[in-house]
Structure 1
């Protein structure tokens, strides 16, 4: 994410707040939300007033906050467990024009349907998880008004027994610039 000092950044599924604390050290205003009261309490204990954390469902938080963010991200978090046709519009509503969305997750399992933008997979605990290939997520992002989706894979350290991490990035279009007469001109 390319955000500068003073930028407001929201993490959906912040866990114990480690990524938020790293952002705070860079002068960013970090805000996190996690559904787990245990994780939120751990973040508050560990990082104190350095980070702002809320215990809530991501959709509930997004629909009840009046704040806008320069960037929103979810690293192995809310976007895996929330219907993207509901979550993506809610995120878009809270991003400032030109704001960035970053999603990070593992590659999809072996049950991907090639024609579906995302796939719901239930685990033994009957938790629904939305999975998809990068091109499927990119299509879904464009469908919900995000622009310039891109993806990359980050390989695990040599010898690690983990899979690569897929990172998707997109943004909300910037508002068209205003002319001297107050009318808008098409963005280029």
Structure 2
């Protein structure tokens, strides 16, 4: 199953161009939570200080991770797609990032240390059963550490495990991966059930300018200050 999903995300990587050389402010690295350029909050949402550690679940071609690395964070990423990792190495050859190929939950369970923040931007946390993902994330966070993720808001009535289709060639069926969609209040309840505190779940509206009008679901919680019992 992991090989099938890896091939699907390799297909997706082929369709996505590299991140722009600069953003609207002229910055060469930046953090973007949404599917809209130059929009939304930045890395401050992770509440990190220089020298602390962050894990990107589904880091893709490494744009957000590279920004954290340039801010002085210990930046670790994992992605299922070898092609995405190759794109990250090509795009950021001089940035000190530690990127791994693999499945997110397996990586969380095997990694030997804890992180100050774990995040996922339209990444692995969107495409993994939250009953598997959330406890694995919680167990790998330091006390007080932040977990944050972004994804598309759910379509009303279309909740739980859904199918996402990744186009391939004109004569090929699309690749199919699973994603998990829930209303904002359901996400908040699930995070609290899995031990997260200070939970916020909001829908960030799309920019008024532009034709794309779908907002971004932004989920954030913090591990309590008890040292890991699991």
TM-score range, shorter chain: 0.7 to 0.9
Deviation at 1:52, TM superposition (A): 1.1
Provide the C-alpha distance between the structure 1 equivalents of 2:48 and 2:211, rounded to a whole number of angstroms: 30
Q: Which residue of 2 aligns with 1:10?
A: 55
TM-score between both structures, scaled by the size of structure 2:
0.70
Aligned residues: 171
Provide the C-alpha distance between the structure 2 equivalents of 1:167 and 1:58, rounded to a whole number of angstroms: 19
Q: Which residue of 1 aligns with 2:215?
A: 164
Provide, for residues 22-46 of structure 1, a one-character-per-residue CA deviation record: whole Å limited to 9, x for no partner. 1112111111110000001111222
**Structure 1 residue 29 corresponds to structure 2 residue 29:** no
After the TM superposition, which of the residue ranges 122-131 and 166-175 deviates more from structure 2? Answer: 122-131
TM-score between both structures, scaled by the size of structure 1:
0.85
Equivalent residue runs for 1:21-100 within 5 Å:
21-48=66-93, 49-100=95-146
**Structure 1 residue 151 corresponds to structure 2 residue 192:** no
Distance 1:42 1:126, change over 3 A: closer
Q: Which residue of 1 aligns with 2:188?
A: 138
Structure 2: stretches of 5+ with no match in the other structure: 1-45, 166-174
Conserved in 1, the CA contact under 8 Å of 2:203 and 2:215? Answer: yes
Provide the C-alpha distance between the structure 1 equivalents of 2:52 and 2:104, rounded to a whole number of angstroms: 20
Structure 1: stretches of 5+ with no match in the other structure: 114-118, 177-188
Provide the C-alpha distance between the structure 2 equivalents of 1:171 and 1:68, rounded to a whole number of angstroms: 14
Where 1:81 maps in the other structure, the secondary structure is coil
After the TM superposition, which of the residue ranges 97-106 and 127-136 deviates more from structure 2? Answer: 127-136
Provide the C-alpha distance between the structure 2 equivalents of 1:159 and 1:41, rounded to a whole number of angstroms: 32
